[in-house]
Structure 1
Amino acid sequence: MNYKHISLIVCFFSVLTVEAQQSDTTISFSLKEAIDYAQSHQVSVLNASIDEEIAKNTVKKTIGIGLPQVNGNVNFQDFLKVPTSLLPGEFFDKPGTQVPVRFGVQYQSSIGIEVSQLLFDGSYLVGLQASKTFKELSNKSLKRTRIETAVAVTKAYYSVLVSNEQLSLLDANISRLKKSLNDTQALFANGFVEKIDVDRLKVLNNNLETERENVIRLLELNVNLLKFQMGMNIHSKLKLKDSIASLQVEESINLNDTTSYQNRIEYSLLQTQKKVNELDVKRYKSLFLPSLVAFGSSLQSLQSQNFSALFDRSFPTTVVGLRLSIPILSGGIKNYQVKNAKLELLKTENNLINLKNGINLEVEQAQTVYRNGLKSLENQKRNMELAQEVLRVSKIKYEQGVGSSIEVTSAETSLKESQNNYINALYDLLINKVNVDRALGKIVY
């Protein structure tokens, strides 16, 4: 094995080692850091950035149409059979006959350059304006993609936080239930309780253990979803810096905001689309205008019967001029193009009205759902606290011999249900808060 092969093997294993180290490294993100990471790694954002660059290049390409155009050309011809023409015999004292005469030489070549400059073209001038508007449109599309990515990452981040909270509650329940189960088994061993009391607690414990396993799998799925939304390799290890306790829930929101549609990137995009439609109308109207082009060319013609003498003499030709193109008749095509462009503009204006109404409805709906969710969370939190108190009292009564095991197991079941209801209400409220911010146009990137 030579040195080159050894070097390749060393490099290969070095790459594997680096990748293994990266996959073993746990990366911690706050919500803001996760969103910032997604803005530079999510494929949809990267592609939107590429589209923006394409739009910039399109503007430059359109500008280039109005700049001087220069073309060079070289031509070489070898007439294996020189063209022959018939001339009247009177030229050769042979009246009444046709005399074949060859015109030209076997070898011909030419070298030239052509220059043209667009002086006036209405569609080009409108095209310049449209290209800049197209650039603006792509820029706003990038912003919309960034906002959508931020929303998706935020919701996925909240899903992980809620799953973590649910897992913590289950662990606390299991720990408490195991203690109750151990105590009850001790009482059963001494003949103070029946076996059915132990069995009831075992059933509850088994159910909690199964639910915990399900939540762990769901948590893993939510973490992978978050990594996907961030544009991170799903095999990487991710840890969240934030917690449910660190999140701030607004208890009051603006209920009378009727101008929020102006903050929405979708509305701004449609306004830009309207500009594009207006420029389309102008562009098609400009097709009725004449266009003017200045041109010039210089040509060196080389001709010879012998190839060796082809470059001995040249015959120059130089021309400059103006070309005016005046549209006269197009079969009504341009008229219908203008009409269709105006109809497209009308459609966009209708879409703007509809979008404005839709955004106002979305804001009202999001605010209503958020207010209801806030009340529901408060109620479920109180229910959970009451269920904890009922369980505490039921245990005391059972231990003092004035209560039954059924009351304890029923209280355990009620507590678990109230905790699940609280978790669901918490998740709904967090997601609804994102929906409210998005509807009001508060999410800006």
Structure 2
Amino acid sequence: MKRIKLIAVMLSSIFAGNYLYAQEVLTLQEAIKYALKNKAEAKKSALELENAQYQIDEVRGSALPQINASGSLKYNAIIPEMAIDLGGEIITAKMGQPWNSAAMVSLNQQLFNQSIFTGLKAAKTTREFYQINAQLTEEQLIEKVSNSYYDIFQTQLQLETIQTNLDNTTKTKNVVEGLVQAGLQRKIDLDRLVVAINNLESQKQQILNAQQLKENALKFAIGMPIENDIQLPEETFDINASIALEDMDIDNRTEVILNRKQIELYELNKTAKVADLYPKLSLGADFGWNGFGQGFPIGGDFMWPKTSGIGLNLSVPIFTGGATKAKIRQADIQIRQAQVTLEDTKLGLSLANENAKSQIRNSLLIVNTNRSNVTLATEVLNDTQNNYGNGLATLTELLDAEKALADAQSNLNTSLLNFKVAEIQLIKAKGNLKSLVNE
């Protein structure tokens, strides 16, 4: 029996150790770093950036010498004949041999092709565009993870408030239960306390369920397997009132930089369309053999005369029916549309910044008010508990005081979360979201 107990203790220790190991304590910074490495958006952004380099290699390759080799083998089952007039006498002669073969190596080098040169610049600019886009993706991911993280904290604070209220009510219920047994208190008061406790237990379970759903949402937001267990550290919401006084530089926002880079790409696209009006000059050269004979090329009666040539190829566009001009105008429209988008983006960022500042100021006022309410509600509850113990307050007054404290604490938690959400928006408006990773 002792051996069985010892094995049971060892197994329980192992399972407990595994459970503790599976629990991951996530700070906000760790959650963001995890998301930047594992979330699909971050991975896709990295792949787009990698693909941009391949696009540059593709365009650069078209500007380098193009070397191709070709070959052919043909058997003429019926050799074509040609009629020849020899002084009024018509004779026919076979033209060719039964077997023909060719082997050729050719080279083509672009000497002047404005489209290729412009394409190379566009490819490099595209890489820069994806670099900026990757940064924007990271910022969007940081914002999403931060909001999800603080949402869990609000639920956790609500759970703490419910638990405190539940502990207070349970203590009162235990005292009243002893008084009822002694015949000094009405049973209806005990029943009311039991109902209150049951209601609090129900609220607690609802909050626990909501917390689990929000934890799953956070795990999805950072790309963590849903089956992993996480635990948030015990933190307090620091209030930094001075953040609302900091200035914002719209020109340094990633969205603005990205829009400007997009305009640059559209301008290069227009330049590429204009390049279709330029002449194109290339160098061409080839070297090879044109073989023919009566038998198969290998081992038969076959000749291999050499052939070679070198020359310049010039293409000058003269008239395209207005198609090129239409393409240029379409490219110009894209540039103007992007400029309108840029101005609208700036306006939206200014609006977001002012709204965030206003929300910060309002949240500060509400947080201070709710903190005062919590302090006052705590004093009222303490006085009511003393009065109830001395028979100077009713059970209804006691329950109302407990509920008032719970409501005040809940309001404080909500206002703290609202402040942190507004703070994130203000940090975003200032273009400093990455500072959350290094805090």
TM score, norm. by length of structure 1: 0.89
Q: Distance in 2 between matches of 1:371 and 1:166?
A: 24
Over aligned residue pairs, what C-alpha RMSD do you find?
A: 2.0
> What is the CA-CA distance between 1:22 and the residue it aligns to?
9.9
Q: Distance in 1 between matches of 2:300 and 2:362?
A: 93
2:326 pairs with 336, 343, 351, which one? 336
Aligned twin of 1:83: 80
Q: Distance in 1 between matches of 2:301 and 2:228?
A: 71
Is the counterpart of residue 436 in structure 1 residue 426 in structure 2?
yes
The 8 Å contact of residues 244 and 360 in structure 2, kept in 1 or not, is answered as no
Is the counterpart of residue 244 in structure 1 residue 235 in structure 2?
yes
Q: Distance in 2 between matches of 1:57 and 1:311?
A: 49
Aligned twin of 2:267: 278
Aligned twin of 1:34: 31
Is the counterpart of residue 171 in structure 1 residue 163 in structure 2?
yes
Q: Distance in 2 between matches of 1:23 and 1:267?
A: 46
Q: Distance in 1 between matches of 2:392 and 2:37?
A: 64
Is the deviation greater in 121-130 or in 310-319? Answer: 310-319
Match of 1:386, as an amino acid? L
1:290 pairs with 256, 279, 298, which one? 279
Aligned twin of 1:363: 353
For residues 359-393 of structure 1, the C-alpha deviation after alignment (integer angstroms, 9 at most, x for no partner) is: 11110011101211121122122212222221111
For residues 298-336 of structure 1, the C-alpha deviation after alignment (integer angstroms, 9 at most, x for no partner) is: 120110121155574211110000001000111101101
Is the counterpart of residue 415 in structure 1 residue 405 in structure 2?
yes
The 8 Å contact of residues 27 and 239 in structure 1, kept in 2 or not, is answered as yes
CA gap 1:113/1:23 in 2 versus in 1, 3 angstroms: farther
Match of 2:187, as an amino acid? K
Aligned twin of 1:58: 55
Q: Distance in 1 between matches of 2:88 and 2:118?
A: 66
Aligned twin of 1:16: none
3-state SS, counterpart of residue 441 of structure 1:
coil
The 8 Å contact of residues 387 and 393 in structure 2, kept in 1 or not, is answered as yes
Aligned twin of 2:132: 140
2:194 pairs with 193, 198, 202, which one? 202
The 8 Å contact of residues 118 and 271 in structure 2, kept in 1 or not, is answered as yes
1:403 pairs with 393, 410, 421, which one? 393
Q: Distance in 2 between matches of 1:129 and 1:43?
A: 30
Q: What percentage of residue pairs aligned between the two structures are identical?
A: 26
Alignment of 1:98-247 (within 5 A): 99-241=91-233, 243-245=234-236, 247=237
Is the counterpart of residue 427 in structure 1 residue 417 in structure 2?
yes
> What is the CA-CA distance between 1:162 and the residue it aligns to?
2.3
For residues 117-156 of structure 1, the C-alpha deviation after alignment (integer angstroms, 9 at most, x for no partner) is: 0001111111111111101001111111111111112122
3-state SS, counterpart of residue 387 of structure 1:
helix
3-state SS, counterpart of residue 82 of structure 1:
coil
CA gap 1:116/1:227 in 2 versus in 1, 3 angstroms: same
2:378 pairs with 376, 388, 395, which one? 388
3-state SS, counterpart of residue 110 of structure 1:
strand
Match of 1:304, as an amino acid? G
* Structure 1: runs of 5 or more not aligned: 1-19
> What is the CA-CA distance between 1:38 and the residue it aligns to?
1.3
Aligned twin of 1:10: none
Q: Distance in 2 between matches of 1:175 and 1:405?
A: 16
3-state SS, counterpart of residue 77 of structure 2:
coil
> What is the CA-CA distance between 1:286 and the residue it aligns to?
1.4
Match of 1:224, as an amino acid? N
For residues 239-277 of structure 1, the C-alpha deviation after alignment (integer angstroms, 9 at most, x for no partner) is: 223x332x42211224473x5322211111001011111
Aligned twin of 1:8: none
Q: Distance in 2 between matches of 1:101 and 1:203?
A: 117
TM score, norm. by length of structure 2: 0.91
1:267 pairs with 256, 259, 268, which one? 256
For residues 273-307 of structure 1, the C-alpha deviation after alignment (integer angstroms, 9 at most, x for no partner) is: 11111112211111111010001001201101211
Match of 1:300, as an amino acid? W
CA gap 1:159/1:376 in 2 versus in 1, 3 angstroms: same
Aligned twin of 2:12: none
* Structure 2: runs of 5 or more not aligned: 1-16
Match of 1:215, as an amino acid? I
> What is the CA-CA distance between 1:349 and the residue it aligns to?
1.1
1:45 pairs with 35, 42, 45, which one? 42
3-state SS, counterpart of residue 225 of structure 2:
coil
3-state SS, counterpart of residue 244 of structure 1:
coil
> What is the CA-CA distance between 1:196 and the residue it aligns to?
2.4
Q: Distance in 1 between matches of 2:54 and 2:225?
A: 32
3-state SS, counterpart of residue 104 of structure 1:
coil
The 8 Å contact of residues 108 and 310 in structure 1, kept in 2 or not, is answered as no
CA gap 1:151/1:198 in 2 versus in 1, 3 angstroms: same
For residues 201-243 of structure 1, the C-alpha deviation after alignment (integer angstroms, 9 at most, x for no partner) is: 22221111011111111111121111111111111122223x3
The 8 Å contact of residues 68 and 105 in structure 2, kept in 1 or not, is answered as yes
